[in-house]
Structure 1
Amino acid sequence: MNINAPNFVVVMTDDQGAWATGAATPELRTPTLDALAAGGLVFENFFCASPVCSPARASVLTGRMPSAHGVHDWLRGDNDGIDTTGISYLQGLTTTPEVLAANGYVCAHSGKWHLGDARSAPPGFSHWFSHRDGGGPYYGAPVIDGGTERSEPGYVTDAISDHAVAMVGELATGDRPFYLQVNYTAPHTPWSSENHPADLLDLYRDCEFPSVPREQRHPWFDHVSAEFDRAQVDPRPALRGYCSALSGVDRGVARVLAALEAAGVRDDTYVIFTSDDGFSCGHHGYWGKGNGTWPLNVWDPSIRVPFVVNRPGHVAPGVVRTPISAVSIHPTLVELADAPLPPDPLAAGTSFAPRILGTEDVPAEPVLVFDEYGGTRMIRTATEKYVWRHDGPEELYDLVADPGELVDLSNDPASADRRAALRGQLADWFAAHAVGEYDGGARPVTGLGQRSPVWTDQADADRYVWTAKRRVETE
């Protein structure tokens, strides 16, 4: 064990698009997160591996794409009457906390898990406070505390912060480096006033949110949430709740940073802030993320997320504009910890630790980012994006001339050669980064949820939730 190894605090929000930061949306009240970004390294073009929570989180922890870890959609669980006891969707896969724990780290978790049974700590973790489900009401949330399930009477964002602060106090007194992930359920719905404290809501009482576009409803916008339909008509109540939830995260992060300072370990700790997936609050004419439309989408509001790394005296403030995928978080943290990375032939990411440490120049070769959601797959360069679907339309965008992805060139004869080349690159890459039973490319993933791991004997027609409209024809 390297006694000089750094600590890590990884803060992850739930459904925060890259637009939802103080720099991009000035009316957002997040002074702590704004200061963290101003004093840290901001990655402007950072993309999740899948535009929905559970697959994206599994990819962060394993460095694999969904078609190599088998989590294809958001996971339905106990709040839907599905007993998750003993179910681990990451069974047999190596995760960041497992690697770090094997190399002397103490690993802790406070907040959302949403990758199976949260009643006991998964491999690698020794400190555990978790939301039982993937989300839900902000008051009365079902949580696992000390191995016991109970209802959290207070604001769950504050409870996650409370436990994170307590964990910092305990972990910092030990003689081993620590890894702490603080996974908020915010700013995920619900956004109604009874779900958020009055002092947070009052921050946005008369706000008109002029920085958030009001765009015409996209014909693909098709979400089962009545809250999203109302928001498309009048976005202000929803935006008030969404931004209030983020302000709650901001004050929680302030407390975690203060705890690091009080323990004397702030300069020894990488603080990383990001989100599991993006989110649209009317951008591009829809509300939601990848499953806010049918067919499922991988437009930038759904896949582009904030990513900030801050460590005083070690990470120079600045901005990185090179596109990077969240599948690269796993190898990056392992390298920053100076730990050996176990070989994985299906690893989809590469470490960007040299970019964080300032020892690597801008890559000479074009950087490609890949994304997937069931049978929807994407390849994105700095200048173009191509989307292929197993059962649905293709898309092609010129991101230089059309950064808003408004003009689909997939049927333009002049773009046929470029479309074919990108389609070939996409197919070749997924052939090397997907595997047999985990491959989701031809499975009936609809965005309405996954009920069981792919390695169980449940039929896919029952494993994935579908409706008459959202039905995928499989081979």
Structure 2
Amino acid sequence: MSARPNIVVFLSDDQGPWALGAAGNTEIRTPVLDDLAARGTRLDRFFCTSPVCSPARASLLTGRIPSAHGVHDYLDGPNTGPDSVDLLAGQPSYTDALADAGYRLGLSGKWHLGASDVPRRGFVHWYALEGGGSPYHDAPMLRGATPEVASGYLTDAIADDAIAFLDAEAGQDAPFFLAVNFTAPHKPFAGQHPDEYTEPYRDCAFESCPQEEPHPWLQTLGGGPIGGEPDAREALIGYFAAVTAMDAAIGRVLERLRAHDLEQETIVVFLSDNGFNCGQHGIWGKGNGTFPMNMYDESVLVPFIVFAPGRVAEGRVVHDLLSAYDFPATLLELAGIDGAAFEEGPGRSFATLLEDGADETADEDRAVVVHSEYGPVRMIRTRRRKYVHRFPYGPHEFYDLEADPGERENLIDDPEHTAAVAELRQRMHGWFAEHATPDADGSALPVWGAGQLTPLGDDPAGAFAPPGWDGAATVR
């Protein structure tokens, strides 16, 4: 691989860590991604910084936590035009670092970080979904600032556009970076996907997605769970079909890389923005599938695969706890670019973990842990334990993940675990005190999955308040 490899990052939308054949799911069909994992390295404990779209994506780009970059919920309201706000304006991203290193940048697919009609610095190609979600047909897109409608099936339209970018860049002397941001497998589910992908699942038992009794905190809308649809079986067929269609689309993009003889010169990454429950825990959705928001592993873990010949081990699975805030520094190091600016916060490059013969941490409960947040909900997770804290009053949760990996028994009130709870709570508060910033701290926000309406300002709680909210939840 050359000193400046090309980079292709595939990002799925709402894909649970379980929704991948290489992760052990024998029902879902992901042959392309399974092959990519076999030829590269798969991480099976990679966490998003927030179990909802926009904050998670902001952290992947900046390496900062939501309480530092200020995006705390999915973005509602205008996505284009003078009323749309670029919530990452002035915040360095790893794409800026790539542009500074001479990369030509392209985007095909979802952006959803405000001002979708404004290509970011260094992007010579910009084909963005107008908002945060859409049907899979006739989706509203933006080519630069010009609106257009995606013809045909959206997953294929995104892949076709990515392929066109590869064709255009193949003759350039400069290296390229391409973000291929699918909307799959985000809802809507039923009736959205081609028959060639839905029909194989008609007789599926869906044992990987047991439909449990509804969670007591489940949010519902229109007769079904807010993150799902009234007909759970049809939704499952659609969800699985969306993943398989995306897998095939990724295969087409990778095939074009090979056709241009570029695969050996390219870092390829696949991951999702946040996790998803398809009935697990009695939930359809991610963190905002319940209220209070949840931090179950199905919501905060995401699939992650990286392929980079000569730089990343082949056929390896890494079990270390790693996070989206580690991603920018890692990707830049793999590309041979100084990523120190993205290690000033909690993020650390894990590029050395991806090498042949790399040793994983022997400590079963190492000092470096992962954290996640969703407004006033915060999590600290070690290999063996998880603590979830909800400002201002709870309810809080504590799980012994060795004895209870499925997070079924909340031990927060068990006297035997009082000391462990106190220790994790102290570590969590200390970590957020170190890495959050006062003008972006989300611990007092009344976030309930209603959408982030405006950026943080002098009155952060009020800035995020839905209509009619009286500010009572600001008490810590």
TM range (shorter): over 0.9
Aligned residue number for residue 140 of structure 1: 138
Tell me, yes or no, if the aligned pair for 2:277 and 2:299 is still in contact at 8 Å: yes
Percent pairwise identity? 46
Tell me the TM-score normalised to structure 2 length.
0.93
1:4: Cα distance to partner?
2.4
Alignment match of 2:319 (pick from 318, 321, 325):
321
What is the correspondence of 1:363-378 to structure 2 with a 5 Å cutoff?
A: 363-364=361-362, 366=366, 367-378=368-379
CA deviations on 1:314-340 (whole Å, 9 max, x unpaired) are 422211111111111111011112112
1:196 & 1:163 partners in 2: Cα distance?
19
Q: Secondary structure at the match of 2:455?
A: coil
Q: Match for 1:16: what amino acid?
A: Q
> What is the rounded CA distance, in whole Å, between the counterparts of 2:339 and 2:215 in structure 1?
44
Tell me if structure 1 keeps the 8 A contact 2:226–2:289.
no
SS in 2 for 1:319: strand
Partner of 1:6: 5
Alignment-derived partner of residue 50 in structure 1: 50
Q: Deviations over 1:3-36 (max 9, x none)?
A: 6211111100000010001133212122111111
- Asked if the contact 1:99/1:124 (under 8 Å) is kept, the reply is no
In structure 2, C-alpha distance between the alignment counterparts of 1:356 and 1:214, rounded to whole Å? 36
How far, CA to CA, are the matches of 2:164 and 2:10 in structure 1?
15
Q: Is the 8 A contact 2:119 2:144 kept in 1?
A: no
Residues 158 and 368 of structure 1: CA distance in aligned 2, closer, same or farther (over 3 Å)? same
Deviation, 1:410, is 0.8
**Structure 2 Cα separation of the partners of residues 144 and 75 of structure 1:** 17
Shift, 1:76, TM fit: 0.7
SS in 1 for 2:158: helix
Structure 1 residue 206 corresponds to structure 2 residue 203: yes
Deviation for aligned residue 1:86: 5.4
Aligned residues: 469
Deviations 1:229-251 (A, max 9, x none): 79687521110011111111111
Deviation at 1:225, TM superposition (A): 5.8
Structure 1 residues 373, 472: CA separation in 2 closer, same or farther (over 3 Å shift)?
farther
Which of 172, 177, 180 lines up with 2:178 in the alignment? 180
Q: Is the 8 Å Cα contact of residues 385 and 399 (structure 1) preserved in structure 2?
A: yes
2:399 paired with 1:397: yes
Provide the residue aligned with 1:259 in structure 2. Answer: 256
Deviates more, 1:202-211 or 1:229-238: 229-238
The whole-number CA distance in structure 2 between the counterparts of 1:440 and 1:346 is 20
**CA distance, structure 2, for counterparts of residue 231 and residue 160 of structure 1:** 24
Contact 2:229–2:235 (Cα < 8 Å) also in 1 = no
- Once the two structures are TM-superposed, the CA of residue 60 in structure 1 deviates from its matched residue by 0.4
Match of 1:235? Answer: 232
Tell me which of 407, 413, 426 is aligned to 1:411.
413
Q: What letter corresponds to residue 421 of structure 2 in structure 1?
A: R
Map of 1:327-342 to 2, 5 A cutoff? 327-341=325-339
Distance 1:113 1:229, change over 3 A: closer
Question: Residues 346 and 434 of structure 1 are in contact (CA less than 8 Å); yes or no, is this contact kept in structure 2?
Answer: no
Give the 3 Å change call, closer, same or farther, for CA 11–420 of structure 1 in structure 2: same
> Quick one: distance in 1 between partners of 2:178 and 2:226?
37
Listed one character per residue, the Cα deviations across residues 30-64 of structure 1 (whole Å, up to 9, x for unaligned) are 21111111222010111100000000000000001
Q: Distance in 1 between matches of 2:181 and 2:242?
A: 13
Question: What residue in structure 2 maps to residue 439 of structure 1?
Answer: 441
1:307 matched to 2:309? The reply is no
Relative to structure 1, the CA distance from residue 429 to residue 466 in structure 2 (aligned partners, 3 Å threshold; closer, same or farther) is farther
TM-score by length of 1: 0.93
Structure 2 residue 424 is matched with structure 1 residue 427: no
* Distance in 1 (alpha carbons) for counterparts of 2:468 and 2:224: 19
SS of the residue aligned with 2:28? coil
1:451 partner SS: coil
What's 2:189 paired with?
191
| Further displaced range: 346-355 or 178-187 | 346-355
The equivalent residue for 1:64 is: 64
Partner of 1:308: helix, strand, or coil?
Answer: strand
Question: How far apart, in 2, do the equivalents of 1:141 and 1:232 lie?
Answer: 20
Give the whole-Å Cα distance in 2 for the aligned partners of 1:223 and 1:327. Answer: 31
Shift of 1:176: 1.3
Q: SS at 1:110's partner residue?
A: strand
**What secondary structure sits across from 1:254 in the alignment?**
helix
3-state SS in 2 of match to 1:371: strand
For structure 1, which runs of at least 5 residues remain unmatched after alignment? none
Residue by residue over 1:71-102, the C-alpha shift from the partner in whole angstroms, topping out at 9 and shown as x without a partner, is 000001337xx856552110111001101110
Which digits, 9 at most, give the CA deviation of each residue in 1:423-446, with x for residues without a partner? Answer: 000000000110011111111111
Report the counterpart of residue 108 of structure 1 in structure 2: 106
Q: 1:447 to 1:86 in 2, by over 3 A?
A: closer
Per the alignment, in what secondary structure is the counterpart of residue 182 of structure 1? strand
Q: Which amino acid aligns with 2:11?
A: M
* Counterpart Cα distance in 2 of 1:363 and 1:351: 15
Contact conserved, 1:29 with 1:203, CA < 8 A, in 2? no
Instruction: Find the residue that maps to 1:437 and give its secondary structure.
Output: coil
Q: 2:227 and 2:51 mapped to 1: Cα distance?
A: 22
Cα shift at 1:313:
4.4
Q: Which moved more, 1:57-66 or 1:103-112?
A: 103-112
Give the structure 2 partner of residue 382 of structure 1: 383
Give the partner amino acid of 2:86: S
SS at the partner of 1:473?
helix
Structure-2 change in CA distance of 1:224 and 1:5 (3 Å) = same
- For 2:321 and 2:82, the matched residues in 1 are separated by 36
Whole-angstrom CA distance in 1 between matches of 2:97 and 2:321: 26
Residue 400 of structure 1 and its aligned partner are, at CA, apart by 0.4
Q: Which moved more, 1:255-264 or 1:225-234?
A: 225-234
* Structure 2 unmatched ranges of 5 or more: none
RMSD: 2.3
Q: Which residue of 2 aligns with 1:32?
A: 32
How far did 1:302 drift?
A: 0.4
Native 8 Å contact 1:217 1:232 kept in 2: no
Give the aligned residue type for 1:463: F
